Amino acid sequence: MQKRKLGNGNLEVSALGLGCMGMSFGYGPAGDTQEMISVIRAAVERGVTFFDTAEVYGPFTNEELVGEALAPFHGTVVIATKFGFKFDPDTRKQAGLDSRPEHIKQVAEASLKRLKTDVIDLFYQHRVDPDVPIEDVAGAVKDLIQEGKVKHFGLSEAGVQTIRRAHAVQPVTALQSEYSLWWREPEAEVIPTLEELGIGFVPFSPLGKGFLTGKISEDTKFDKGDFRNIVPRFAPENRKANQAVVDLVGKFRQQKKATPAQIALAWLLAQKPWIVPIPGTTKLHRLEENIGAVNVELSPDELRELETAASKIAVQGARYPEELQKLVGR
């Protein structure tokens, strides 16, 4: 597995990471714990060193799963987790945002226990909290870094002004936001800012929440607990219209003798040397397919051809329902 450095933060990770959220949360019922542990450990055996979780996934159960799966590999893998939500003490359900410095420090202690580790490699603010100045957030993480409890600071779905302000207090190692062939908004402002400041980029949903694999059609029925049921882009009529993106990827896949998922990931890897996508999966064969993307090289001509064709396709449907969209890009 090739390695990449996330920005100037000197954090070296495998060129592809593993997003672990879907093992516990978001796409229907949680996976069987032992099966999920074996998928995570299979990723380590195949050279993946970068694993992504968050306290809100579950809540809490995904960190526990990742902590158990990776306990034998401390020191050889990088675990990223996130803070920034508050929870109802009775139901454990998410109840808004909370990035107050004292809360960040409590979350760090709890995450360290669940992850069975003494240091968090990369600690992201999960969503920007409008009630807490980002300077205070960055300052709290800076304290945790000085105490040796955290190694690197990250932001998720933040806008460029927030990134700049945070970076001035505590250098930001990575930004995690959605980016793929069918969600390219970061190209306008975010990616140039990251390049200027020397910050790595970790795209989540690099396969368009599964859509770019070509395995989802307008007729696909999702589990009742699946987040995609409320995503406008996944409404059946939008899936039908957006099939054009999958068809485009499919054309290249024949040329390259690769799968649609591998083309979509190879495209992302070709954008910048400091981009590390984190596709998620619960299945070993999909994990192996995704890892295969690091060996698919798109030539400059192929990238241009893909670019030109993709720019002519207008993707239909918002990527989030309105109330969730309000939390991004602040």
Provide the annotated active-site residues: 57
Q: Report the 10 Å Cβ neighbour count for 260.
A: 24
DSSP-derived letter for residue 198 is: T
The residue type found at 318 is A
Tokens describing residue 156: 């998720």
Q: What is the dihedral of CA 158, 123, 109, 119, to 10 degrees?
A: -170
Query: How big is the chain, counted in residues?
Result: 330
The verdict on whether omega for the bond into residue 236 sits within 30 degrees of 0, i.e. cis, is no
Residue 72, classified by CB atoms within 10 Å of its CB into exposed (0-12), middle (13-18) or buried (19+), is: exposed
- Do 23 and 42 form a contact (C-beta atoms < 8 A)? no
> 94-97 and 120-125: which strand pairing?
unpaired
SS3 130: coil
Tokens describing residue 164: 């700049």
Q: Report the 10 Å Cβ neighbour count for 197.
A: 17
The span from the CA of 240 to the CA of 236, in Å, is 6
The span from the CA of 179 to the CA of 280, in Å, is 14
